[in-house]
Amino acid sequence: MRYPASERLEIIRMVERSHLPAKQTLDRLGIARPTFYRWYDLYQRFGEDALADRRPGPRRAWNRIPEKVQGQILEMALERCELSPRELAVTFTDERR
């Protein structure tokens, strides 16, 4: 699960203020220790702004089959039930390019 920067900061503050050891506090919060310490290191070195999620969202897969082509493949598969998936792929590529 991705946490927004505000929640990450709140978790850091909760661990710092807790009278329990960090491990127990993190276990109760359901946060993995390596994740927390990565956030904590960024926070200590660069401040609150470093807690913002910088990873891009999900990308489109390079080998995703367009919906139009998926429909054509499905039609061919229903017409030629005897073909294995590999044979179907080869036949589709040869006949429909």
47 plus 74 within the same structural domain: no
**% the chain with pLDDT above 70:** 99
In a domain, 18, yes or no: yes
Question: What is the tally of structural domains in the chain?
Answer: 2
For residue 42, give its domain range: 5-51
Question: pTM of the prediction?
Answer: 0.56
**Same-domain pairing of 46 and 12:** yes
E-state strands within 39-80 = none
Q: Which residues contact 28 (CB under 8 A, 6 or more apart)?
A: 20
Task: Give domain status of residue 89, yes or no.
Answer: yes
Residue 60: pLDDT above 80? no
Token pair for 35: 């994740």
Averaged pLDDT for residues 71-77 = 93
- Is the pLDDT higher at 24 or at 58? 24
Given this model, what pLDDT does residue 56 score? 72
